[in-house]
Amino acid sequence: MSPLNSWYPFPMDTDFSIYNLPFGIFKPGRASARAGMAVGEEIMDLTILQELGLFDGIFLQDPSVFYADALNDFIALGKETTSAIRLRVQQLLFLENEELKSHPERSKVFFKQNAVQMLLPVRIGDYTDFYSSEQHATNVGSMFRDPANALLPNWKHLPVGYHGRASSIVISGTALHRPKGQTKADDAATPTFGPSKQVDFELEMAFVIGKNSDLGEAISTGHAADSIFGFLLFNDWSARDLQKWEYVPLGPFLAKNFGSSVSPWLVTAEALEPFKVAGPKQEPEVLPYLQFSGLHHYDLNLSVSIAPKESAETVVCRSNYRHMYWNTVQQLAHHTVNGCNLRIGDLLASGTISGPEADSYGSMLELAWKGSKPLKLSDGSTRSFIHDHDTVVIRGWAEKEGMRVGFGEVRTEVLPAKD
Ligand code: MN
């Protein structure tokens, strides 16, 4: 694919290139929330494009669908409509297209991203977190159990996951308080209560469900892609000391549900299509319902930075979404194989994405190896876990043959525990 020419002045190396055109929800000043699309450092207001008649020819049952505080109703129109809108905006930006470029009301369409408030792109009904990076599961298993048998017997037979909490998923820029809870030291007889001393990030990707399924309906790996609307960066905040004490036998609870952070721009599955790659060979062979054909991994660069208060950022992790053992269609097929129904706006997260190198691990737990190898930041301070007033920034972008499709960032400051 050769680079597309546009009359719009896209900045060099922007995540929000003409190949991307992700959807989001924004609020300009005191005006009501509406749907927009990121272009360079600006947003195109889809309500205005609609009002100017620039979507004429694309059937929208309810033309006010873009005046909304979430994309759920728009997504419900189906991929035929949502991709027609995206491709129409792309066409409006083509060099030779004058419809918007020469429109007398063109300036009404554009807003500076840094001058508006972003909202969560979808109303998230349910949230599921997987545990699908082999390196991550191996690291955690080695630290807490036995390096020789780091993976539990089920791990290579099914994508392990748990149901998380949707109410505490927040948009990038929302600060979170350090959680309080119970912890118990190994040599203590009883637990104590107080602020977590081991707040950690988890570098993850999440995909958003774009199609309702029925209770009792299993979605095959071959049909799963139809149900995936798009992707977000996801930080699954974790309190390791709370987690260690509480997780047996039912798994994560208060160590996880105090907050998870997502990026604002919902990058469509179509935009990521050119960056698909093969995943690892799965050995032993998986059961038939988890077998798949085609490419379902993504070559998507990921990074995590820590910025202490009033200090520069230090990149502490460089990973890639391709480092997954279980892919999205397997996760979706497994999630529904028992008849569990999915709804538009549900969010399925990958699990911590750790690569093979020590600087590609997707959590502080692994990067600083349970506190035994603290990381040095550029301001000279060290970290085993996240300190109060640290800001953690996750970024993600794919690049190939002059095309760049990125997510921007998800940025979260950790505040002191509430009194
Ligand atoms: Mn997680």
Sign of CA dihedral 138, 142, 144, 150: positive
Q: In the structure, what pLDDT confidence band is assigned to residue 1 with cuts at 50, 70 and 90?
A: very low
To the nearest whole number, what is the mean pLDDT of the chain?
A: 97
For residue 136, indicate whether it is catalytic.
Answer: yes
- Exposed/middle/buried for 95, CB within 10 Å: 0-12, 13-18, 19+? exposed
Mean pLDDT score, 204-210: 98
Q: What's the confidence (pLDDT) of residue 63? A: 87
In the numeric block, the tokens 């798009």 are attached to: 230
Is the pLDDT at 245 greater than 60? The verdict is yes
254-278 per-position pLDDT tens digit: 999 999 999 999 999 999 999 999 9
Tell me the CA–centroid distance for residue 236 and ligand 1, in Å: 5
Looking at the DSSP bridge assignments, the partners of residue 400 are 403
Is the pLDDT at 3 greater than 90? The verdict is no
% residues pLDDT > 70 (the chain): 99
User: Pairing relation of β-strands 403-415 and 375-376?
Assistant: unpaired
Is the pLDDT at 237 greater than 70? The verdict is yes
Question: Hey, what domains does the chain have and what are their CATH numbers?
Answer: 23-119 (2.30.30.230), 127-415 (3.90.850.10)
63-104 per-position pLDDT tens digit: 899 999 999 999 999 999 999 999 999 999 999 999 999 999
Is the pLDDT at 185 greater than 60? The verdict is yes
Q: What are phi and psi of 241, to 5 degrees?
A: -70, -35
Render 176-207 in DSSP notation, one character per residue. EEPPEEEE--TT-SS-EEEE-S-EE--EEEEE
Mean pLDDT score, 30-51: 97
Cα separation of 136 and 155, whole Å? Answer: 12
107-121 per-position pLDDT tens digit: 999 999 999 999 999
Mean pLDDT score, 373-386: 98
Q: Is the pTM of this model over 0.95?
A: yes
Is the pLDDT at 253 greater than 60? The verdict is yes
Please say whether the beta carbons of 348 and 166 come within 8 A.
no
Cα separation of 158 and 155, whole Å? Answer: 6
Contacts 24+ apart (CB under 8 A), 244-247: 244/144, 244/183, 245/182, 245/183, 245/184, 245/191, 246/181, 246/182
153-179 per-position pLDDT tens digit: 999 999 999 999 999 999 999 999 999
Is the pLDDT at 36 greater than 90? The verdict is yes
Instruction: Output the six-digit token pair for 93.
Output: 């930006």
- The count of other CB atoms within 10 Å of the CB of residue 403 is 18
- Exposed/middle/buried for 105, CB within 10 Å: 0-12, 13-18, 19+? exposed
Tell me the CA–centroid distance for residue 216 and ligand 1, in Å: 27
DSSP state of 94: B
Q: Which of 103, 136, 163, 297 is catalytic?
A: 136
Tell me the CA–centroid distance for residue 360 and ligand 1, in Å: 16
Tell me the CA–centroid distance for residue 262 and ligand 1, in Å: 13
320-343 per-position pLDDT tens digit: 999 999 999 999 999 999 999 999
Percentages (nearest 5) of helix, strand, coil residues in the chain: 20, 30, 50
Tell me the CA–centroid distance for residue 339 and ligand 1, in Å: 24
Residues 6+ apart with CB under 8 A from 192: 182, 183, 184
Please say whether the beta carbons of 168 and 252 come within 8 A.
no
Mean pLDDT score, 284-292: 98
Cα separation of 401 and 1, whole Å? Answer: 8
